[in-house]
Amino acid sequence: MAIIVVAAGSGTRLGGAAPKAFVGIDERSVLRHALDGVFAAAPAQVIVVAPAGREGDAETELFDAAGDRRDLCRVVVGGETRQQSVAAGLGALWGDITTVLVHDAARALTPPSQIDAVTGAVTADAGVIPALSVIDTIKRVHESEVVAGVDRSELVAAQTPQGFPRAPLEAAYAAALSSGAEYTDDAALFAAAGYDVRHIAGSARAFKITTPADLERARLMLTDAAAPQHPLVTSSPVIPRVGIGTDVHAFGGDGTLWLAGLAWPGEPALSGHSDGDVVAHAIVDALLGAAGLGDIGEHFGTAHPEYAGAHGDVFLARTREILSEAEFAIGNVSVQFQGNRPRFSARRAEAESTLSAALGGASVNISATTTDGLGFTGRGEGIAATAIALVHPHP
């Protein structure tokens, strides 16, 4: 993976004495913070696009952040627009690079995990952007009139780094160059060339420093993180949190049994609004409960018809996004179901890796038990599951 960090803007809206990338947040500049995040991820090549005349300063920051990885580093001079700056960065890619990330230096506090998540989600034919749900109610306006509401659930706010397969990205940049079109981000340019772009969860810390108030926000975030924790303060933001979730569904659904994210051909199906996957649903409640973010009914219930019939991995992937947007990382999940069937042990590893992948690689342990013929599970009327989950607020 190569990452192009665009830092060639002047920072007009910030109004600092230096170009924005060289403005200090604390004792470190915007660019240096961005690069610290980049090197905490696992880059193969790092290209910084600097304002003309500031190449030397950019190189100093880059080498300091790189430590003993200077051989990965390159500084090039940017252009008049962000798009031209990215194009300049593309010109410096090594021959063997296949995945390219483009990142705004101005998103100085982007968590390294966001960079890794974008890298991991790029495919040979689709780009990936990190994005946040839109919180405010959005209106379309014309002059002073409010013309219409806009359905917020169809909108997300795009962040960086944005990741792309290299050859299509270069083709898209060549097409933009020949048409003279200017796009507001790389994903728009890439999509205009006919390629697909997907989105994954972004994070509040990846906000773009644009105005003096944003710089203040970044400073506060750093001071809060650096503040020594008083030993008697028990509400330290890094204390992990646990949650519990249970779910029960009766047999009697149509089609195939879905359990623990897997289809079980030949087994009687569970009934439910979605696929009746009690294991996945118990995990969703445990995770939402741990993060204090409500429950499955609120986020996935009948008010959300898009989840009717959805499988467990879809529920878990969306739950991870909800947690990530609220700045929670998932520690581990342990879940047990009670039921006479299916016989689970042969597919345990497959189920665990399916659910773990949906949760971004978090550890998932699944066990199964029967109840010695007792109760509704023992009578074979349904399956019950209980999950506990541990989550951490991002420090």
Which residues of this chain interact with ligand CTP, rule CB under 6 A?
6-14, 20-21, 49, 78-82, 85, 104-106, 208, 210
Angstrom CA distances, 368 to 309, 316, 346, stand at: 24, 20, 11
Q: Please, what is the minimum distance in Å from the beta carbon of residue 169 to ligand CTP?
A: 16
Q: What are phi and psi of 235, to 5 degrees?
A: -90, 35
Residue 78 binds which of Mg ion, ligand CTP, none (CB < 5-8 A, kind-dependent): ligand CTP
223 binds, among Mg ion, ligand CTP, none (CB under 5 to 8 A by kind): none
CB of 4 to ligand CTP, least distance (A): 9
End-to-end CA distance of the chain: 27
Taken in order 159, 173, 120, 295, the sign of the CA dihedral is positive
Residue 208: name its binding partner from ligand CTP, Mg ion, none (Cβ under 5 to 8 Å by kind).
Answer: ligand CTP
d(CA 11, CA 6): 12
Which residue, 209 or 388, is less far from Mg ion as judged by CB?
209
Q: How far is the CB of 49 from ligand CTP (least distance, A)?
A: 5
From the list Mg ion, ligand CTP, none, which binds 106 (C-beta under 5 to 8 Å, kind-based)?
ligand CTP
Output the smallest distance, CB 207 to ligand CTP, in A. Answer: 11
What is the three-class DSSP state of 268? coil
Q: x/- string (CB under 5 A) for Mg ion, residues 7-46?
A: --x-------------------------------------
Query: What angle, rounded to 10 degrees, do the helices at 278-291 and 348-358 form?
Result: 40
DSSP class of residue 97? -
Please count the other Cβ atoms lying within 10 Å of the Cβ belonging to residue 99: 20
Cβ proximity to ligand CTP: between 14 and 257 the closer is 14
Give CA–CA dist 327/113, Å, rounded: 12
Residues 170 and 179: their CA atoms lie apart, in Å, by 14
Q: What's the rounded Cα separation, in Å, for the pair 320 and 359?
A: 6
Question: What is the nearest approach in angstroms of ligand CTP to the Cβ of residue 58?
Answer: 11
Minimum separation from the CB atom of position 9 to Mg ion (A): 5
Secondary structure (3-state) at 94: coil
Q: Which residue number has the CB closest to Mg ion? A: 9
Of all residues in this chain, which one has the CB nearest to ligand CTP in the complex? 9
Contact residues: Mg ion, CB under 5 A: 9
